[in-house]
Every structure is written in structure tokens, then in C-alpha cells.
Structure 1
């Protein structure tokens, strides 16, 4: 099958070097992580701001500080769903790109 005729799931299988079932589990982990971070935001905002009002500085700090929390939650869900190794490698690649390190 040509590259253009492959479905997006097949392309993810090839890119991530995983099975079709693993693709869906990995996407489920990303979804669970995103929902968790979304649900955590409201109580965090309420705890650190008055009447839920978000000063711009708070918003900037929140988005900077939520990144490591997101990555930690991603690893936890990856462990729960049996895909820890995939997400551990994913995190290493992510932080290598952020820090400008080459894979060695």
C-alpha cells in the first residue's frame, strides 16, 4: 500500500514501531493525561487566585510549571496502561529535543 493510501493509525504504527492495539492504548494515555491536567487546573487556579481571576503572570507561570507535571502524569498513565517503556523513551526524546542534545 502506498504511503498516501495508508491510514493515520498505520502511519503511527510505523512511526512509533508498535502494534495497532498499542497505538490506541498510547492515544488513550495521551487523552487521559490531557483530561487530568485540564481537571487539575480549576482547583489550582482557585487556590492561588482571588475569585478565579487569572493575572497574566499567573497564566505564564502555570503554563511553564504544568509541563513537568504533564510529563510526570504521562509516565504514570503509561505505567497504568502497560506502556511505560514507550513513554519513558518518548520523554527522553522530548527532553533531548528541548535541551538540544543529540541522541547518542
Structure 2
């Protein structure tokens, strides 16, 4: 356990909550992916594919950590887990909020061309994503990181004049 704490620069026990949440979320995602792909083959097959998917996602996530470790300015390595959790929650939440709003406005696949529908769906989801990213970043104690990330993203969209 001490080796794990040193690797992730965990100095206090409460910081262990983020790796635990990350592993649980990774396991849940693996199960959902496996269930979506092979739901007809029975629970034993789903569990085996879930475990395989879990290890593949874990390898990919650790690869991303290594690549982003020098790019993102964070105080400790464990904060990267917190940042990834914020990105995951924000992505899911923006779609969760965007769907009812797009239906409320009256935009459906039935009354619009599918290309126009998906374009509007992505635009509405992206608007909520920007707002929720800063909110969840603040909620998880990473406001400054996500505010800087947001400003950089808006500049890339050509909207930098609205934030300066």
C-alpha cells in the first residue's frame, strides 16, 4: 500500500477515495461495455469480457496518465484521477441534461433530418459541457485547473474574446 501511495503522491488517507472511485467507475464501465456487446451470451461470458475490458481500459488510462502527466499542471499525481473523474461525470451529465432540453424545444429525429438533429444535439451537449465542466471542477476542488482548461478550449473555438 505504501508503494501505491508513493507512486500517486498520496499524503493523507482521504485522498485514497479518488483511486477507489476511479477503479469502481472503470469496473462499472467495463461491465456496461461488455453487457452491450455480448448480452446474449450469458452472465459468465459477460463477466469474463468485463474483466478483459477492465484491464484494457486500465492500461489505456494509465497510458493517458503518463502522457498527460507533464502537460497538465497539478500539485500531486492523484489529482489526475480527480480530473479524469470530473471529465467522466461532465460528459455523462451534459448528455443527460441535453436530451430532455432538446426534446422540450421540440427537436426530434422524427421531425428533422438526422444530420441536423445530431448536429444540434452535439451543439447543445457542448454548451452544457462547458458549464458543467467548471461546476464539477469546482465541486471536486479543481476549479482553477478547469477554468484554465475552459479558457483554452473557448479560445480554440474562436470565442476567446468573451472570456478575456
Larger Rg: 2
Structure number with the bigger relative contact order (C-alpha 8 A, sep ≥ 6) is 1
Give the TM-score normalised by structure 2: 0.50
- Equivalence map 1:77-96=2 (5 Å): 77-96=136-155
**CA deviation map 1:58-104 (0-9, x unaligned):** 43223223322210100000000000000010011111222287xxx
In 2: Cα distance, 1:94 partner to 1:50 partner: 27
Partner of 1:59: 118
When structure 1 is superposed on structure 2, of 48-57 and 34-43 the one drifting more is 48-57
Cα drift, residue 43 of structure 1: 1.7
Flag structure 1 segments of 5+ consecutive residues without an equivalent: 1-5
> Does the CA-based 8 Å contact 1:30-1:74 persist in structure 2?
yes
How many pairs were matched up? 96
Instruction: Output the TM-score relative to the length of structure 1.
Output: 0.73
Residue 12 to residue 46, structure 1, CA distance change in 2 (3 Å): same
Which runs of 5 or more structure 2 residues have no equivalent in the other structure? 1-61
Whole-Å separation in 2 of the counterparts to 1:100 and 1:41: 21
Secondary structure class of the residue paired with 2:141 = coil
RMSD: 2.6
* Per-residue deviation, residues 8-54 of structure 1 (Å, max 9, x unmatched): 32322211022211110000000000110122233224323387736
Residues 1:27 and 2:61 are matched in the alignment: no
Partner Cα separation in structure 2 for residue 76 and residue 100 of structure 1: 19
